[in-house]
């Protein structure tokens, strides 16, 4: 793999992260993905969603430090410190393609994939495109098309209101400033933590991804995300590798989807928590425990309980 220099981070933000090695990878024409990596051993790929970035997994990475894992955390294209693309380029098919290119560059022989929010369909969709022996840890996400009779959430309906949604997302830092409102503990995303999520999206000229990703969520069965979601669903329904579900039941967006995910992956172990949507901020310990358990079942590593102090 040809690694490229990573974009710089503000010193205050770098101080909030574990000692990651950072680099960039070409995944398309003028498109680079920013990656943070730590440790050696079995690859554990952690894929975030909208509107966060790899910072979201810092506590989980700290819990796994020194336990035989190579933790790999990419930023989705358009978010964090990955390349920006035009709003019309934000399609599920393109995001899956970019992530599949990253997987190919990293040349995994086997890995554990941890996915949340849009990181679910994107991360799992890329795995389905070129499957390898793998384990899955599924956090609050949806890995299938909507079911009959569905209605988009209020958040996703608002994202399609002309002009008003553009102003709120592009100028008022929505929905980043509201991340704490979808948490079990609203204090889990405030102060410097909230500042860390806001930092990569400060440029009003290029912060198109949060709104574009919100509009990637289907509002009808003719939506262009439906085929990719169906392929993802077909893959997880036939998936026989070790799997775990760790869920934030107090998530007002996807909290009620847990039972459907259990039906999609019936052999997965299930851990319910009182966390919200960005559960990595609230319950990193059970997420790390699920990674260790899935890795052990994959035939690599041992379910050690050792951990290090989590960063802020």
Task: Give bridge partners of residue 273 from the DSSP assignment.
Answer: 248
pLDDT at 302: 42
Three-class secondary structure of residue 190 per DSSP? coil
Domains of the chain: 11-298 (3.40.50.1820)
Exposed, middle or buried, 271 (CB in 10 Å: 0-12/13-18/19+)?
middle
pLDDT one-digit tens code per residue, 246-279: 999 999 999 999 999 999 999 999 999 999 999 9
- Percent of the chain at pLDDT > 70 equals 96
What is the C-alpha to C-alpha distance for residues 195 and 189, in angstroms, rounded to an integer?
9
What is the C-alpha to C-alpha distance for residues 233 and 227, in angstroms, rounded to an integer?
10
Task: Provide mean pLDDT across the span 194-200.
Answer: 98
Three-class secondary structure of residue 295 per DSSP? helix
Task: Provide mean pLDDT across the span 137-149.
Answer: 96
pLDDT at 300: 61
**Which two structure tokens, joined as six digits, stand for 192?**
């410097």
Going by C-alpha positions, the residue among 145, 141, 130 that lies closest to residue 243 is: 141
What is the C-alpha to C-alpha distance for residues 80 and 75, in angstroms, rounded to an integer?
6
Mutual angle of helices 92-106 and 226-238, in 10-degree steps: 50
Indicate the helix (H) or strand (E) that contains 76. none
Mean pLDDT across the chain: 95
Residue where the block lists tokens 């790390």: 288
Backbone phi, psi, residue 112, to 5°: -105, 135
pLDDT one-digit tens code per residue, 215-247: 999 999 999 999 999 999 999 999 999 999 999
Per 3-state DSSP, what percentage of the chain is helix, strand, and coil (rounded to 5)? 40, 15, 45
In the chain, what is the straight-line distance between the N-terminal and C-terminal CA atoms, in Å? 32
Confidence grade of residue 210 (pLDDT, cut at 50, 70, 90) = very high
231 near 210, Cβ under 8 Å? no
Cis peptide before 150 (omega within 30 of 0): no
**Which two structure tokens, joined as six digits, stand for 160?**
């399609």
Task: Give bridge partners of residue 36 from the DSSP assignment.
Answer: 22, 73
Exposed, middle or buried, 23 (CB in 10 Å: 0-12/13-18/19+)?
middle
* Helix runs in 130-276, H state only: 154-158, 164-171, 191-198, 209-215, 226-238, 258-264
């Amino acid at each position: 793999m040809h690694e490229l220099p990573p974009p710089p981070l503000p010193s205050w933000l770098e101080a909030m992260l574990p000692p990651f090695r950072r680099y960039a990878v070409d995944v398309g024409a003028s498109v680079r993905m920013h990656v943070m990596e730590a440790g050696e051993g079995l690859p554990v790929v952690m894929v975030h969603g909208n509107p966060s970035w790899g910072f979201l997994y810092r506590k989980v990475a700290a819990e796994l430090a020194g336990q035989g894992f190579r933790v790999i955390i990419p930023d989705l294209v358009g978010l964090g410190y990955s390349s920006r693309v035009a709003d019309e380029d934000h399609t599920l098919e393109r995001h899956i393609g970019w992530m599949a290119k990253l997987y190919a560059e990293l040349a995994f022989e086997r890995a554990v994939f941890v996915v949340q929010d849009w990181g679910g369909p994107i991360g799992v969709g890329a795995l389905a495109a070129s499957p390898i022996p793998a384990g899955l840890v599924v956090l609050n996400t949806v890995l299938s098309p909507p079911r009959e009779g569905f209605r988009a959430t209020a958040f996703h309906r608002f994202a399609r209101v002309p002009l008003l949604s553009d102003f709120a997302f592009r100028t008022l830092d929505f929905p980043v400033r509201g991340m704490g409102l979808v948490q079990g503990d609203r204090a889990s995303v405030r102060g410097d933590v909230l500042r860390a999520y806001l930092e990569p999206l400060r440029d009003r000229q290029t912060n198109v991804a949060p709104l574009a990703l919100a509009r990637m969520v289907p509002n009808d069965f003719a939506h262009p995300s439906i085929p990719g979601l169906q392929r993802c669903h077909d893959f997880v329904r036939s998936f026989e590798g070790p799997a775990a579900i760790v869920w934030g039941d107090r998530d007002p967006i996807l909290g009620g989807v847990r039972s459907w995910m259990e039906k999609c992956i019936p052999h997965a172990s299930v851990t319910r928590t009182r966390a919200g949507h960005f559960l990595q901020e609230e319950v990193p310990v059970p997420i790390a425990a699920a990674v260790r358990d899935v890795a052990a079942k994959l035939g690599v590593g041992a379910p050690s309980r050792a951990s290090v102090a989590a960063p802020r």
